[in-house]
Amino acid sequence: MPARVLACFWQVRFRMTRLLFLALVGLTVSACAHAPPALSRPSGDSGFTAEPMPEPPGMDVAAPRPFELQPGDVLSLGTISPAPLNVPRLVVDEAGLLHAPLVGAVPVAGLRMEEAQERIQERLRRYDRFGLVSLSVTEPAGHRVSVLGAVERPGAYVLGGGTTHVAELLALVGGLKVMTGDAEVAELADLEAARLLRGGTPLPISVVRALAGDARHNIPVAPGDLLFIPALQGASVRVLGEVKSARALPWRAGLRLSDALTRAGGMTVDADSADIRVVRGPLSKPKLYQASFADVVAGRAPDVELARGDIVFVTRHWFATMADVLQRLTPLLAVGAAAVTVMELNAAPISQ
């Protein structure tokens, strides 16, 4: 075994053991002090910190932009003249030039149709003093926008006639990526982190508010724009214990305890609905909270909002001890500790 691989193995083993030990000690101490009730929102939990997402201010509602020619547009050129000219397909090249018979290369990118027509008319007069130029768009292929990330049909799309807004563009690509199964549908897109880039620079809009119809955010898209919808990668909530289908669920803002339990198939007949544990925080120092789903159903307690990375553990009747919780959570914490350690070691060279 090469020395570098062996060194990596022992570092992973040592650091994983340390993280796991700290996690189990933290949970044990929490249990001895009696698990406090879970707060209704993660924002009220001193043990939970999330990087604040700046709220984009939006943009002033601007007047609709006129159609301007772009590289890639396909045009049809004709003249009304005793010696008429008819060219059904001319493409604006990457340099923004239109190569037409007689007139040669004419720069048209960024011009409105009437401006481009007048420019070609001027060039043509040296050959045909009385000819009138007629210019029309056959395919607006240069008016493309790109949508990438967690959407159903990512790719480049040609903007048709009229104005296309952010919300309409999302509808054009089939909407957000979702996961379906077991009679449940979960969105896999992180809309709060979505960005619309123009010229490589993010615009100060919120896609969430654009979908809500806010005119300052649901702005018209322009040729060359890129809409990026990141996935909820790594953002999950795990539901374990006495549920019918233990699983990791994609996290989304506003995910409640009742939603997570429902999507895990509900609780088994042995479950103690009055004693559900929520493990929150980093593996090195996790916190343990207690929630009562029975109180939620009876209206005596709020439905707990879950945070990214939470672990929901449903205990059993009669022996909802910390030993039971630790026994079920130890393998999961071990895997998580190993993953964290490997990622950290991959990011840093091994010391010699």
The CATH code of the domain that includes 96 is: 3.30.1950.10
* Sign for the pseudo-dihedral over CA of 66, 70, 74, 79: positive
28 within domain boundaries: yes
Single out the residue in 229, 260, 287 at which a domain terminates.
229
208 in a domain, yes or no? yes
Distance CA 303, CA 257 (A): 6
Residue 53 pLDDT exceeds 70: no
Sort residue 183 into left (φ over 0), alpha (ψ -120 to 50) or beta: left
Domain count, the chain: 3
Q: Quick check: is 37 in a domain?
A: yes
* Same domain, residue pair 343 and 238: yes
Model's pTM, two decimal places? 0.57
Which of 139, 173, 189 is where one domain is finished?
139
Domain stop point among 229, 247, 279? 229
- Please report the beta strands in 68-183, taking only residues with DSSP state E, as ranges in sequence order: 74-80, 86-91, 97-100, 104-107, 132-139, 144-149, 155-158, 178-181
Q: What is the pLDDT of residue 1?
A: 46
Mean pLDDT confidence for 110-126: 92
pLDDT in tens, 78-102: 998 888 889 999 999 999 999 998 8
pLDDT score recorded for residue 179: 64
> Are 78 and 134 in a shared domain?
yes
Other beta carbons within 10 angstroms of residue 187's beta carbon come to 16
> What domain range includes position 124?
74-139
Specify whether 195 is located in the same domain as 239. no
User: Per the structure block, which two tokens stand in for 139?
Assistant: 């395919």
Confidence of residue 41 (pLDDT cuts 50, 70, 90): low
Q: What is the CATH number of the domain that holds 48?
A: 3.10.560.10
Higher pLDDT, 36 or 225: 225
Same domain? 217 vs 239: no
**DSSP letter at 58?**
-
Query: Averaging pLDDT over each range in 15-24, 82-91, 140-149, 239-248, which range is the top one?
Result: 140-149
Do residues 32 and 80 share a domain? no
Alpha-carbon 45 to chain mean position: 25
How confident is the prediction for the chain on average, in pLDDT?
78
> Does residue 153 lie within any of the structural domains?
no
Residue 107 pLDDT more than 50? yes
